[in-house]
Structure 1
Amino acid sequence: MTHTKNTENTLPSKKAWTGNRILNLFLNIALIGLIVWYGYKYHGLLYPTTRVSDENKARIIMYSTKWCPYCIEARAMFAKNGIAYYDYNIDSSKDGKEQFFELGGRGVPLFLIDNKVIHGLQKSRIADLLNKGKKISPIKKTNKLSN
């Protein structure tokens, strides 16, 4: 007589059952970790932590480079008017560069003001977003060289 094994009513071994539970637990933890990681990443993009000016309460993030003449002009304009902002140098900041491209950045400077994206140094548009009873005077270009 030959014995055949009845496979219909066979339960997995205790070792196999434990292995599956550990694998499922690991996969669930990994999935939760990914959700938290990407949720935090995109939350930071939509609601960035920035320095806020006491005078106009506008949240300003500038994505820039050190060598860009328009970026230099924007920094001078903000300094002249006492406007606080956060400056991401996309050449040296990995987070800044990622955010720059996620916001559709094609060139610098790129501004995020009150969750509105502004491509380039559009002084009048920036002033409109920042003006809350305060006049912002843009930097005037001159051909004179100062010593």
Structure 2
Amino acid sequence: MADVLIYSSDWCPYCIRAKQLLTSKNVAFEEIKVDGKPQVRKEMVEKAGRTSVPQIWVGSLHVGGCDDLFALERAGKLDALLQN
């Protein structure tokens, strides 16, 4: 199973949806919360090139946000990506 990393915020509905999808697939993930942590958010922006949460990585691949994760699921590509 690939390592999954998600930068998130407690109040973000997209973060909650992305985590629910991963949890429904029994995928363990490391969560880094950016709430009230400008340095952590800055680190996320530098890595992802995006300011919104969630930002999700599967292994070394930056998947993107919640919509990107669900697009992989709809295309039938998420499970294979998670297995790498």
Give the TM bin, normalised by the shorter chain: 0.7 to 0.9
Residue of structure 2 equivalent to 1:76: 20
Q: 8 Å contact 1:64–1:71 — kept in the other structure?
A: yes
Q: Whose radius of gyration is greater, 1 or 2?
A: 1
TM-score (norm 1): 0.45
Cα deviation per residue 1:8-37 (whole Å; 9 max; x = unaligned)?
xxxxxxxxxxxxxxxxxxxxxxxxxxxxxx
1:109 matched to 2:54: yes
Q: Matches of 1:95 and 1:60 in 2, distance apart? A: 21
| Alpha-carbon spacing, 1:118–1:71, altered in 2? closer, same or farther (3 Å) | same
Cα deviation per residue 1:97-146 (whole Å; 9 max; x = unaligned)?
232111112211111111111221122336152156xxxxxxxxxxxxxx
Q: 8 Å contact 1:108–1:119 — kept in the other structure?
A: no
C-alpha deviation, 1:70, in angstroms? 0.9
| Alpha-carbon spacing, 1:64–1:118, altered in 2? closer, same or farther (3 Å) | same
Greater strand fraction, Structure 1 or Structure 2: 2
Residue of structure 1 equivalent to 2:65: 120
Q: 8 Å contact 1:112–1:118 — kept in the other structure?
A: yes
> Unaligned regions of 5+ residues in structure 1, if any?
1-56, 133-147
Q: 8 Å contact 1:107–1:119 — kept in the other structure?
A: no
2:11 to 56, 59, 67: 67
Q: 8 Å contact 2:3–2:58 — kept in the other structure?
A: yes
1:130 matched to 2:82: yes
> Unaligned regions of 5+ residues in structure 2, if any?
none
Q: Give the % identical residues.
A: 25
Q: Matches of 2:14 and 2:39 in 1, distance apart? A: 21
Report the aligned-residue RMSD: 2.1
User: 4+ residue runs of structure 1 moved beyond 6 angstroms?
Assistant: none
